[in-house]
Structure 1
Amino acid sequence: MTGQRGRPERPLDPDAGPVQRFAHELRCLRRTAGSPSYRVMADQSRVSVSALSRAAAGERLPSAAVVRAYARACGADPDEWEVRLKAAGEQVSQYGSTQENSPYLGPAPFDREDENLFFGRGQPVEDAVRLILDQRFAVLTGASGTGKSSLLRAGVVPRLKTLLRQAGGDVPVHVVTPGPTPAATHAGLLAARPDGPERLVAIDRFEEIFTVCRDRRERWRFVDLLLSAQDPTGRLRVLVAMDGTFRPRCAEHPALAETLRRTVVPIPSMSRQELRAAVVGPATASGLRVERTLTTRIVEDVVGQPGALPNLSCTLREIWRRRPSGVLTLAAYEELGGVHGMAAARAEELYRGLSPAQADTAQRILLAMIRPGEGRADACRPLPRTDLCEWSDPDVPEVLELLVRARVVTGDEDKVQLSHDALVTSWPRLRRWIEENRDRLRAHRHLAVDSLTWQAGGNDPGGLYRGARLAVADALFARHSQDHDLTCLERSFLSASRVACRMDRWRADRADQRLRKLVLALCLVTAGALVAGVLAWDQNGLADQARRQAQSRQAAALAGRMRLTDPRTAALLSVAAWRLAPLPESRDAVLGSLTDPELDTFTAPRRTSTAQDFLTGSGHTLLHMEGGHWSSWDVTTHRRTGSGRLPDAPVTAVGPDGQTFALRGRGSTPGALWQLPSGRRAVSGHVLGFGAGPDSYAVLDPDGRARLRAIDDDRVLFETTGADALVSSVDHRLVAVCSAGHPLSVWDTASGRELAGGWRTLPMPACSSAASTFDRSGTRLAVVTADGIGVWDTATGRRIADIDHPDGAHLDFTADGRFLALAGRNDVSLWRISTPDAPVFRHPLTDGPLTDLALDPGRPVLRYLASGTVHSLDISGPLSATWRDRPVGDQLLSPDGRVLATADQDGGQYHFRLVATTTGRTIAQLPTRTAVGPERRQTTAVASPDGGPLMSFSPDSRFFSYGTSGVSSRLAVWDVYNRRERASLDVDPRPPGSTIRSIALSPGGRKLLIARLTPGDAPTGEVWDTAHRTLTDQPDVVTATRGAALAAGFGGPATSLPFGQDIGVPLVRPHGPAVVALSADGTLAATDGELGAVTVWRGNRVRSPTAVLPAAPAGCAPCSQVTALAFSPDGRTLAAGYDSGAVRLLDVATRQPLGGSLSTPGDAIRSLAFGTDGGSVYAGSARVPLQRYVIEPRSVVTRLCERAGTTLTKSRWRTYFPETPYLRVCPVSKAGTDPAPPCADVCSPPLPSPTQPSSAPRANAEAGIRARVANANGSRSAAR
C-alpha cells in the first residue's frame, strides 16, 4: 500500500559515516515496501510518526525498539535489522574515535586531557592557581552547573601541574571524589610525606562528605586530613571543588570554616566575554568557524543562567555534527531547539523510543540516581553497579546501555550517574517523576542507609523498622509490585523488620492475655462494689435532677412575679430557670421575658413621696429633686452622673438637656431659672416651659405678652399676646401658640407670619406643653384635640392623620417622624402616621399616672416616667420592620414555613410569585396564562370586580395552586419542588353565575377543592383531579380537610371529602367562616373564638372548649379578631395572629400562653407558619409580607443575656438559690450599654418589585423546598 507523500526528506550521503549509511538503508527498505507514509507505518507498528521519521533522518542511530518497528512496518525481518543496528553502532564507535573528534564534549565534564579545548575561565584559573601556590589549599565553589568539575580538571589542575613542574620537576596529580568513607579511602593519599615530592590532590564533588558519607566522625577526619595540607612540611597541596549550597554546612567544622574564609575562589556565572570564548575557542582550536549570529544568540540565551553550561556543551556538539562544512550555523542551533531544550530533547527522544517495559526500567534507573533535596535543591547521586546487579528487573543491563550510549548517563566500572545535574531541572519528565515519587525516593535513601547500619551492627534487631516507619516502608515498597529497585540487603532488612514486628505482636498478645486474666479477676472482685456504687450514683442523680427541676420551676415563678418591677432581673432568673432544667415552665419563663416589652425599670434610691422627678436628655437621664438637693441618674447604667443643691422653691419644668430648671416664684414674685453649674438666674415673668431645643424657654411677662427667649442672652425669639402655652420646634423656626378655648395658631418666627392650616378650626380644650409637639424636622405637628389627636403637615396645613385616642397627652415623634408616641390614662401607645387606624404598640400603665414620655432617637426604645420610676420599652418591632407603602394583595406561607406566596395587584391584574423565607428572594415568578377562547386572550390572572386572589399550598408544601376568584377563572397548580406548572384548570362556573370563594389542595397536590357561591348565595363545592384535569365530584357541603386550612363552609358542620379526613370542626360562625389550624399529624385542630379566644380540639371531640388566650383589652377591636393560627411541627406550640398585628404563643399541653405578644410591626397578620425545626415563627401581613421570629429557647436565652448585659452575681445567686452551687447563667458583657431589644431576630426581607422578578440564585431556596416536612398550613379566611 502506498500512502500520500509528505514533505521531501533531507538528502543523505552514505559515505558520510555509519549513521547516514544506516539511515540510507532504512529509506531503501521503505521504498522497497512501496513507500508507505509514516502515518500508515505508525498505525501498523504503534510507534510515533516522529520516532519513525527521525530513525531515517541520518542524525543519529535510532533505538532497537524503533528499528524493529520500522522493519515490521515495511515487511522485513526485525531480528535482521537489529543485527544491522548493532553493527552500525560498532562502526559509529570506531568512526567517532578516528574522524568524529568533536571539540565539544557534550554533557560530560572536561578532563585533564581536554585542556586544549577548555576556554572562558582564565581569571578563575589564575585566582585558584595563585591561591593554592600561596596557601597550599584552595576551594572552588559555585552553583550547580557552573563548571566546577571542568574548571578543576581541565583548567586549574593542568595549569598548576605545569607551574609546579617548571619549579621543581614532575608533580603527581590525583583527582578523586570523597565517596561514602572518604577518610578511610584516601588516608594514604593525603598522608604527610616530608621526604617525598610535591603532590597535588584535587577533590571533586566535595559535597559528597555531606550527601554520601553518613558517619560524622569519618567526615571530619577526612576534613582534618585535607586541612593538614596547609603545613608545608607535608609536601601536599589540595584543591577542592564544592557545590556552593553546601557551604553553610561547613560551619559545623570551625577550622574548615576559618580556612574557607581566606581560601575560597567563587565560581560565578560566565560573563558574555567568557561565554563567547567558550563557544568560539574550541571551534577555532579545531580549525572550525562559528557564525557570529550563532555566538551572539547562544550568549544571549545562556548568560546569567548558572546551570546552562552542560546543555550548552551538548548543543554545541550537536551543532558541530550538523555543520554543513567547517561552519557552525545558527540554523542548526534553531533546529535543535536551543540550549535549554537540547539535553531534555535527547533524553526525551531516547525515552519515547523505549518499549513500555523498558520505559519503566529507565524511570527506576534514573530515579535511583536522584537524591531528593531536604531543604535544598534535588541533586544527583552515583549509583553503584553492584546495586543494579541485585535488581530483579531483567531489562536493567540493556536499558542502562541505551542510557549510556545516549549520554544521559555516564559511568565507569564501579558506578553510573547522570551525565550532569542540569538534567534534573531541564528534563520535564524527570522533574515530574521526582515530584511524583519524592516520598518514596526519600524513604529509599533512608532505607539504604539504615540497612547498611543494620548490617554493620551485626544485624542488631534494635536497628530494624517498627511501628509507623515499618508501615510507611510497607506502603511504599510492596513485596511484589514496587521492590524491583531494592537491593538484596534492603529486602532482607525489610523482611527482618516484618518478622521482628510479628514477633513483637506475638509477645504483646501473650502479655495481653495474662493481663486480661488478671484484670478479669480484679473485675469480678470489684463488680459488686461497682454495681452498688452505680445504683447509688443513679439515685443521687435522680434526686439532683428532681432538685434542679424544682428550683427551675421556682425560678420561673419568681421571674414571672418580678417581671413588672424588675424586668432585667426577671430575664436573668428566666435564663437561670432554663439553665437549671429545660422544662415547660422554664420555656414559658424565657419566652415571657422575650415577649415582655419592658427592657428595664429604674427608680432613684431612697425616694420619698415628696420628691420631684423629671425625664430629660431624650429619656437617658432621670433628674431627682428632694430636700433642696438634685441628682441626675443614667437610666441605662443606673449610675448617678451629677448632684447639687437647689434653692427652696418648687421646680416647675426642666430643659430638654437637663441643665436648666424653672423655679416657681412665691406670690407675685417672678420665677427664676437655675442653670448648671452657674446657679440662679432671674427672669422677667412666669416661666411657661422650655422650647424643644436646649437653648430657649417660654415666659409670660408682667405686660401680658408671652415670649420665647434664648437662655444664653435672654434674646426674644418670638412674642405674642393672650397665650397660655408656647411650643416651639427644635430649631425655633415654628412656634405653636395655645390659648384655652381658642384655636391653635402656628407662627413662622423668621417672617413673623401665621401659618394657615386645619388646626385653626379646632378650639383647644386645654393648654400645656404636653398637648402639642413638633417632630424634629418641624414638618409635622401633633395636637391633642377634643376628639383625639390630630397630625398636620406644617408646610401645607393639611391634616394627615387622625388618631382615635380621646385622652392622649405627652406626645413625642420618632426621629424620622413616621411614628407618634402618646400616653393615655391607662396605657402608652405608638401610632404609625401613615396608617393611624390602630396603634402598632400598646402597653398598659401599672404604677400610677404618667408624668413624662420620651423616644430614644438612636434606639427603638420608648421611656416613660410614672410615680418616680422610669420604664424602658422595646418598640423595635414596628420601628425596625421594612414597611411597604403599597400593600400586597394577599400572601400565604407554606406549611413548612420555607416559602411565601404573594399576590400583588397592578390595576385589575394580579402577579403571583414565590419567595424563599430564609433570604427574601424570589424563587419563582409564576408564568402568565391565557384564558380559554379566542375572545379572552389575557396574559395575566385578572380579578373580576368582586374577586380577589386565590392561593393554597398542599399540606406537604410541594404544590401550590393559585388563581383569582370571580365568575370565571383559570386555576393553576405549580410544582414547587421542580419549579414547573403541573396543571392548568379551566373551571367554568357550575352552575352559571357562581363565583369561586376559596380553594384547597390535597396532600401530594392530586386533588383540588373549590368552594363556590351561587347567585342565590347557596354554597357548593367541586373536587378536581389535577393530573387528568377533570371534575370528579360536587359535594354539597365544603369542609376544612387535613392539611388544608380552608374556611369555606357556608352551613352546618364539616363533612368528609374523598381526599381528606373529617376533623369534625364546625366552620360556620355568625360573622363569617372560622379560622382553623391543623397539626401535622392531623390529631389537633384549633379555631378562633370570641374576643380573641382560641379553642383547641382533638380528633372528633372537644379537647378544651375554654378560651386559652386571654380576651382583648377594652376599646381595641382589632385585638379581638384572630386572623391566623398555626401549629408547630411537633404540635406542642400554637401560634395565633390578630388583626392588630399581635402574634401570641400557646403551650398546647398546659393550655397556657407563652409570654405576651411578640414585638411585631403592628400590621394585621394574614398568615402564620412555623419553621421546620419549630424554632422560628414566620408571619405575613399586607405591609410587611415576611416576618421571622426566633423562639428556640437556646437562641432566646442568648438574646436575653445580651439584653440584660450582666449576669447573676454569687451574692444574688445565694439569695435566690441558697442550696444550689453557683451557676453563671450569662457571660459577662460590657457594662454601660443599652440592653438589646428582645426581638432583634425579627426580620422582614424586602420583596422584589412585582413587575421585575428577581434573578437571585435559587439554590438555597430549592434545597429548602426539597426537604419535605409534614406540617399543617396556617389558617386563612377564604372570604378575606
Structure 2
Amino acid sequence: MPRGERPLGPEDTALLRFAGDLRRLRDQAGKPSYRELAVRANYSPTALSDAAGGRKLPSLALTLAFVRACDPAADTAPWTKRWRELAAEHTQQLLPNAPYPGAEPYTETGAKHFFGRERLVGQVLDSVRTRPLTVLLGASGSGRTSLLRAGLLPALDDAVLVTPGDTDPLADLAEALAGVFPGTTAASLAEELRADPDRLRLLVRRHRPGLVLLVDDAEKTLGADDFLAAVTRCPHVVLAVRADHRRRCLDRGLAGAEITVEPMTADQLRRAISEPAAKVGATVETAVITQLVADAANRHALALVQRTLLETWRRKRGMTLSLSGFEETGGIGQVAVHAAEAFYDGLGETARRSVRGVFLRLVSVRRNGTTQRRTRVLDTEPRLLEQLAKARLVTLTDDGAELVHDALLGWPRLAGWIDEERETLGTHQQLVTAMELWEASDRDPLALYRGARLRRARELGEFLTVQERQFVDLSTRRETRRFTAFVAAVAVLIALVPGTVVYALSNERKLTEAHGRELGGKALSESEELIEQRRPYADKYALVGYKVNPSPEAEKVLRLANAVTRGIPFTGTPKDDADVVVAPRGDVAAVTDADGTDRMWSLDEDSATSGARFADGHRVVKLAERRAITRDQTGREHLWAVNAANDVTRLAALPDRFRTLDLSADGSRVVGKVGDADGLGLPTPDETAHAELFDLTDPRSLRELPMPVRDPEAVALSQDGRELATAVWDAAAGATTVEFWSIGGTAEPAAPALRQPVYVRGITYSGDGRWLAVEHSPESVVEVWQRVPSGAPVLRARLDSALRYGAGISFSDDDRIAIVRDNIFEVQQLYTNDRAPDRLVYVVGHGNSTRAIFRAQHGDFLVRSGGRNPELLPYDLDSGHIIKRMCEKDGARLTDSEWVKSFGEVERVEVC
C-alpha cells in the first residue's frame, strides 16, 4: 500500500503556499496517483511528489509539467509568473567568486574573468605605442569601460584611469593623478593645470615618460577646453568616447587614431561566456552558450548577456550553469523586460510620459502589422536618453538611438503602448518611406507629400523628429503654393468661360488617364518581352509602366523584371540542372560542378563568387551556418566546417548508413535515420531502421542525444536545434501525430501534440519558432500553425495548390511564408488572428523544386530561375525598395535613344 502524502502544515511561507496550490490542482483533477501523473508529465513520481512537497522550489519545467499533467487545458502563464517571483526569493546570494559582473562593468580586479576582447586590446596597445592620441569609439553598452579597466589597465606597464564627471573634469583629472608626481596633491595640481594646461605634459615628460592616460566617458569633457588642452598634449592618451559624440570629437580637432568597439562576434561571445566560468572551476552547458550567442552575437547586448549570466550563476547546479537554471531566469528576454519595468517603476509621471514617447519612436509597424526596432535621431531631452542608455534599455550609436534588443518588444507595457498607437505608427512608417524616396530622387518636389497623406502626417505633431518635421513643412508650403495657383487659375477661367471650366478639367483628366494606360501598357509589354528573352533593361521598362499607371499587374511585372535583371549566375558551372543548396541566411550556396562535385559560392546582393570544392564526388545534402553535410559516391555522409565560401574543412564522417533528415540552421544539431532501406536501395525494408540525433558542438566527437521517437516519418529541428518536431504515422487509424520535444540532456515535451488525419510528408519551423508549416501527402496541402508558448498550436492558414507536387517551404522574418512547388513560386502573408493569409506573389516558371531562401540583409527571397539553369533570382516584394535601389544605382532611367525607339516623341516620364 503506497505511503500517504506528507502533510504540509500551516502555509505560512510563499513556498508552502505554492506547494499547497499544486496539491489542490491535483485534487481538482481527481487526485490521480503520482505514478499516473508521471506517465502524463514524463517525470518520475518522486520528482512530482517533491514538487508538491514544499521543502524546495521545483524547476520551472517540472512545475509546468505538473500543471499540464493535472489539467492539459490549464493556462500556464500565471504559474510561470508566480514561479519566477518565488524563484527570485530563493536564488543563491552572490558569492565573492562570481565571475560575471552583471549590470556593472568589469574592474581591474576582475581582469582574470575578462575574455573575448583580446584582439581589440592588442589593437589599442599597438596604437598607443605608435600614436600620441587614440580615440576609442563605441556605442553605449558596447563595453568601453570594461575594456579600459580590465583589458588595457592590466596590460600597460604604467597607466592611470581617469573618469571625469559632468561638473569639473579638470578637478577629476587632478584627483586621479594626485600622488603620481612627486610633491603634488589634487588641489595643487588642479590649480597648476588651470593656470597652465601644458604643465601636465611637462610633469609626465620629467617624471613618468611612459605614462598612458586612459580617459573613460571622454564625451563629458568635450566642452571643457582646459581638460582637453591638458590631456591631449601628453605623449600617450586613450579617449573612450560614446559613438554618438563622434562628430563633436572631430569638431574639437581630436583626430587621433580611431578604433571602434564593434559588437562581439559569435566566437568572441562564446569565450566571454565560457572562459570566466572555467577560471573558477565552473562549466556552462553548451545549450546555454548556444542560446546566448544566438540572442546577442553581433549586437550591442553585452550588458543583457552579463545580467543573464549572473542570474544563471545564482541558479547554478553545483558548479554548472545549466540550461534549466538559464531557463529559470527567462533568458535575455525576461532580463530585459524586468530591467525595463524596474526602470519605469522608478520614474515620476512626467518622466513616464517622456519614456513612452521615446520607446514608441524607436519602433516601427510594418504593413503586415509586425513590429520591429528602428534607429532614429531623436530630439528628446538628452538627460532622458542618458538615463535610458545607462539602464541599458537604449543603445546610442553614431546613427542615433535604438532599443537595446528585440526582447524589449515583448515588454507587456510597450506592447500595450504599440497597440494604442498602432495607427499613428503606421502613418509614421509611411512618412519615413516617403522621405527615403524623396532623398533618393535628389529631393524632387514632386516626391513631397500632399493631400490626405500630408494631413495625416501633420497630425503626428510631436511624434516627428526635426528632419521629419522639415519634410512635412516643405510639403505644406508646396501644397499651399499649388492650391493658391490653382484657385487663381480657376478664377480666371470662370471669369472668361463660365460653365465650360468643369468640363475642360474633367476632359483633361480623362485624356491624361487614357494616355497613362496606353503608355504604361506598352512599357509593360516591352518589359515582359525582354524578360522572356532574358535581355537587359526589362526592369527599366517595367518601372516606366508602374510609374505612369500603378496597378497590381504593373507591380507584379516590376518585381519579376527586377528579379530577372538582378539574377545571380554561377559562371563556370556548366552542369545543366545542377543542384543548388543555399544556406539559411542566403550568404553562401553549394552548386554542382560538371563532374558531379559540389562547389561553394559566396553570394552578394546580385552576384556570386566561386569558392572551394568539396572532396571529389561529394554532394551537399544540407547546408547550415558554418556547417555542411555531404554524401559521397558510396552513400556515406560527412560533416564539414564552412567558415567561408573559400574555406571548407572536412570534420568527421557520420555513422555508417546514416541519412540526414534535418540540420538545424545554426549547425548545432543533426537528425537522421540509420538503416533506411528505401534510401539505401536495399531490396527489402530494413526493420532495424531508427532515427538518431547528434550534438555537433564538438564536431570531431559527435555526442548522441536522446531521440524521443524511434522511427518517425518526418522530423524538423528549430533554428537553434533546441526543439525537435516528429511525425509518426498510424496506418490503422489513418492519422499522423506531430509531437514537439525540448532537446537537451533529456527529451521532454515542449508543447501539446497535433493529431492530423492525413499522412504528413514534411515539417518546417520558422526562424523565430513562431510558425510551423506541416505539409500533407499526396495532395501537397500546407497547413501553417502559430506556435503558442506552452500551449497548443493554432491553425492560421491552409494553403492549397492545383499542382500536387512536394513543397519547398521557408519563412521570412516578418510573418511571410514562401512555397515552391516544382516551377511555381508563391509567397503568402500570415496573420496571428482569424484573417485569411494574403497572397503576395504567385509566379509560374520559377522555383524549379528549390526552396526559396529569405535574405534579411537584402530584404528579398532567393528563388531558382526556370529551366535547367542553376541561376538564382533575388525576388524583392517591396516595390518602394526596388525603385529606391534602382534610383540610387542610377539604373532606372532609359537612355534617350531607348525612349525614342520604344515610345517615339511621347514626353519622357521621369521615374526617380
Please report the TM-score for the alignment, with normalisation by the length of structure 2.
0.31
Higher helix share: 2
Please report the TM-score for the alignment, with normalisation by the length of structure 1.
0.23
Question: Between Structure 1 and Structure 2, whose CA radius of gyration is higher?
Answer: 1
